[in-house]
Amino acid sequence: MKILLSNDDGVQAPGLHQMADELRKLGQVFVCAPEEPKSGASSALTLYQPLVARVVSKGIWGVNGNPADAVKLAIHELLGGRPDIVVSGINNGLNTGSNVLYSGTVAAALEGAQNGVTSFAVSRRVSSVEDYRAEARVAAKLIARLALKHPRTRTAFNINIPSGKPKGVQVTATELTPYNDRYDRRTDPPARTYF
């Protein structure tokens, strides 16, 4: 199985590399992710500046763009053929409710699905622990099962892993509760208001 792995936390993020380790048990893994964190980028594309893919190591690229750019560029230019699945994550923080609208993690999976590849966004409950191995094992098992049942579809699965040991799998619909917006109003030295 040919697997494209991306994220919105950047090509150096520990969740990305620990997810890659588990996915290598399923097949050949290629990584193409933003060079820097791009959380909240949603499906934004880089349109007015050159998009550059830097080789980090064999089969791993860092892109000076957003998660959707990374997936799109990998599928059309870098991989030399369409992957069997696209995986995005592991994101440190659940992507549920209205967060899915803003999530770069989910956007990378949606970009894969838009290109006809069964795709998965993987997130976990926020934690200060940089060990994602347990979540990566859970996600890889679920991805393997779902990929067999949904080969080469335009489907994106959004997988959220709670803390502790999961008791099972729950299929749900996204409830789009409005986001709780809050801005901190400040004034800079020249007396301009900023937020």
Q: CATH code at 149?
A: 3.40.1210.10
pLDDT of residue 174: 81
Domain count for the chain, please give it.
1
- The string of pLDDT tens digits covering residues 17-63 is 999 999 999 999 999 999 999 999 999 999 999 999 999 999 999 99
pLDDT in tens, 137-153: 999 999 999 999 998 88
Q: What is the pLDDT of residue 186?
A: 96
Model confidence at 173: pLDDT above 90 = no
The pLDDT of residue 98 is 86
Q: Which of 100-114, 117-131, 155-169 has the lowest mean pLDDT?
A: 155-169
Please give the residue range of the domain that contains residue 60.
2-194
E strand or H helix at 14, and its extent?
A: helix 14-23
Do 78 and 37 meet the contact criterion of CB atoms below 8 Å apart?
Answer: no
| C-alpha span between 37 and 34 (Å, rounded) | 7
Q: Report DSSP letters for 42-66, one per residue.
A: TT----SS---EEEEETTEEEESS-
Mean pLDDT to the nearest integer, 1-15: 97
